[in-house]
Structure 1
Amino acid sequence: MSAAFLIEQGLNGLQFGVMLFLMAAGLTLIFGVMGVINLAHGALYMVGAFACALVAPEAGFWAGLGAGIVAAAGLGALIELSVIRPLYARDHLDQVLATFALILIVSEGARMVSGGRPLWLDMPAALAGSVTLPGGVPYPVYRLALIGAGLGVGLLLWLLIRQTRLGIRIRAGQADREMIDALGVDIARLYTVVFALGAGLAGLAGAMVGALQSVEVGMGEPVLILAFVIIVIGGIGSIRGAFVAALLVGLTDTAGRIFLPALLALAWPPAEATAIGSALASMSIYVLMAAVLAVRPRGLFPAHG
């Protein structure tokens, strides 16, 4: 395999990782601050993609991107106010059942809007085409833009958590919810803001990925599973952990899908090697999770301690 091919696949893994980070960052914030297991997070990712795909043909991609963020954040705030808030005092099973029901409701709503057909989203003209990277590697401009956008959002999120009053309240909420409530912080409003922020990040990821794949009902569930793997690897409630773990998962998944079939082809016929290699590649991220937890049971960068 040439160096150009390795660079291309490394960038693909990085792009996949930063998109997973946007999904996982919101999920780890919600669980770390609010203690809520939100299975509907994947549905919010789908809402962002659908909103972008519906608005972009009429108003342009950038307006669609904004619509995806606003739609997901708004729906997230509505879900927190109407469904999640009565469940704070209940155990996680009730939260799981309620948010699983939301998956079905949102999915059926999206099916009614789209008629069950996949939608297609054109990438902006300014980001179409490819550029030649050092070493003569042609690479799509849009994928490079996704990498830059993901890294930029990650930096802004880190600054929000570390340098702003809201960030101080979020970190305090992770450490001791009862204490900040006693100090006069409106904990109910804080929870709504955190949930909407997490939902908006999921919507942003869905809207940006919508230009690379079809926008369809159920597109958020596979990504949701990977997001849970990421927050377990990185440490629940840790933005830094989510970022590092997302890059590890993205690179591991990409490397497994590229290299495992090629290695197995040395011993098996190509068809069997491809089938076995693809199955092993799907397992690789869970092997990674098991290896990390064997060494650090609370994840790489746990938020508490």
Structure 2
Amino acid sequence: MSVTLLIEQLINGLQLGTMLFLMASGLTLVFGVMGLINLAHGSFYMVGAYVTALTSVSTGSFPLGLAAGVLAAAAAGAIVELLVIRRLYGRSHLDQVLATFALILIFSEGTRWLFGSSPLWLSPPEALSGSVALPGGSRYPVYRLVIIAVGVVVAAGLYLLIAHTRLGMRIRAGESDREIIGALGVNIRRLYTLVFALGAALAGLAGSLVGALQSVQVGMGEPVLILAFVVIVIGGIGSIKGALLGALLVGMVDTLGRVFLPALFGQFMSPSDAAGAGTALAAMLIYILMAVILAFKPKGLFAAHD
């Protein structure tokens, strides 16, 4: 195993982790404040990717497409909260799961009806299409480094928002005792709409950024949603700090496992058997990681209400 390959895969894991953080932070924020299980969170990821791709192609401006994707996801989140989610507060988690699963089907079929089933393709902006040299002589795409930087900026921004603003104070209070802050004059419904729209915007940002690395297609948010749920369970439901650490752990374990486990098994197995066994075990690694962590920390690494 070369040092260059290891460095490259570590950066890949960091990039995957930051993308998962963008997804998981919105998901855990919504659950922490509202107590809502939102299976439709991946649909906002898809909305962001589609709007970014369409706007970028039609205007020729990736930054404009990125802004449009984030705003469209936030607007979709606000509308969904007003029309559907608002009726689910206080209902059982089973009702929430069924209702938000229905939203997945509505978003998917609506997107297929509007844009067809063929995937869309979006290239990174020309200014970010280059690469930088890594130790050992290989090169790494600049755009992937930008995704990491965006994740760091968003993490810092969320910390400042939650820890040092009046809105953040209300969010923290809403996590602790929503009845009390309602009695103190805070508009709970408006707060919930803002939080839900913020969570949707973060998912839309993740989809908008990743849309330039893979095809934009119907249902692209569901696989990422599964990973996001793993992240928030590992990190602790309702904890932004836990979502960040959990996302980095999942990103690193998933990336390194998929690359190095087949090579490790290849030391004592035939190439075909090693590839099959390594790939199968790599796909299970993040769930094994989750099981081990929950065995010692049943509420996750940073349980919000410990």
Q: TM-score, normalised by structure 1?
A: 0.98
The residue aligned with 1:45 is: 45
Give the Cα separation in 2 of the matches to 1:256 and 1:277: 8
Give the Cα separation in 2 of the matches to 1:165 and 1:136: 49
The residue aligned with 1:251 is: 252
Letter in 1 for 2:99: A
User: Residue 188 of structure 1: CA displacement?
Assistant: 0.4
Give the Cα separation in 1 of the matches to 2:18 and 2:136: 24
Secondary structure of the structure 2 residue equivalent to 1:297: coil
Confirm or deny that 1:114 pairs with 2:115. yes
Map 1:145-294 to 2 at 5 A.
145-294=146-295
- What number of residue pairs does the alignment pair up? 305
Give the Cα separation in 2 of the matches to 1:117 and 1:303: 42
Does the CA contact (< 8 Å) of 1:161 and 1:170 recur in 2? yes
User: Residue 138 of structure 1: CA displacement?
Assistant: 1.1
Secondary structure of the structure 1 residue equivalent to 2:293: helix
Identity, % of aligned positions: 66
Give the Cα separation in 1 of the matches to 2:21 and 2:74: 17
User: Residue 136 of structure 1: CA displacement?
Assistant: 3.2
CA deviations over 1:73-118 (Å, ceiling 9, x no partner): 0000001000010111211111111100000000011112221000
Give the Cα separation in 2 of the matches to 1:62 and 1:54: 12
Give the Cα separation in 1 of the matches to 2:77 and 2:279: 35
Does the CA contact (< 8 Å) of 1:7 and 1:137 recur in 2? no
Letter in 1 for 2:76: L
Is there any run of 5+ residues in structure 2 with no aligned partner, and where?
Answer: none
The residue aligned with 1:73 is: 74
User: Residue 133 of structure 1: CA displacement?
Assistant: 3.1
Secondary structure of the structure 1 residue equivalent to 2:140: strand
The residue aligned with 1:61 is: 62
User: Residue 134 of structure 1: CA displacement?
Assistant: 4.2
User: Residue 135 of structure 1: CA displacement?
Assistant: 4.5
CA deviations over 1:6-59 (Å, ceiling 9, x no partner): 000000000000000000000000000001100000111011000111100122
The residue aligned with 2:303 is: 302
User: Residue 271 of structure 1: CA displacement?
Assistant: 1.6
Is there any run of 5+ residues in structure 1 with no aligned partner, and where?
Answer: none
Distance 1:274 1:36, change over 3 A: same
Letter in 2 for 1:30: V
Does the CA contact (< 8 Å) of 1:28 and 1:238 recur in 2? yes
Give the Cα separation in 2 of the matches to 1:137 and 1:301: 37
The residue aligned with 2:143 is: 142
Does the CA contact (< 8 Å) of 2:4 and 2:135 recur in 1? no
Give the Cα separation in 1 of the matches to 2:293 and 2:17: 17
Letter in 2 for 1:186: N
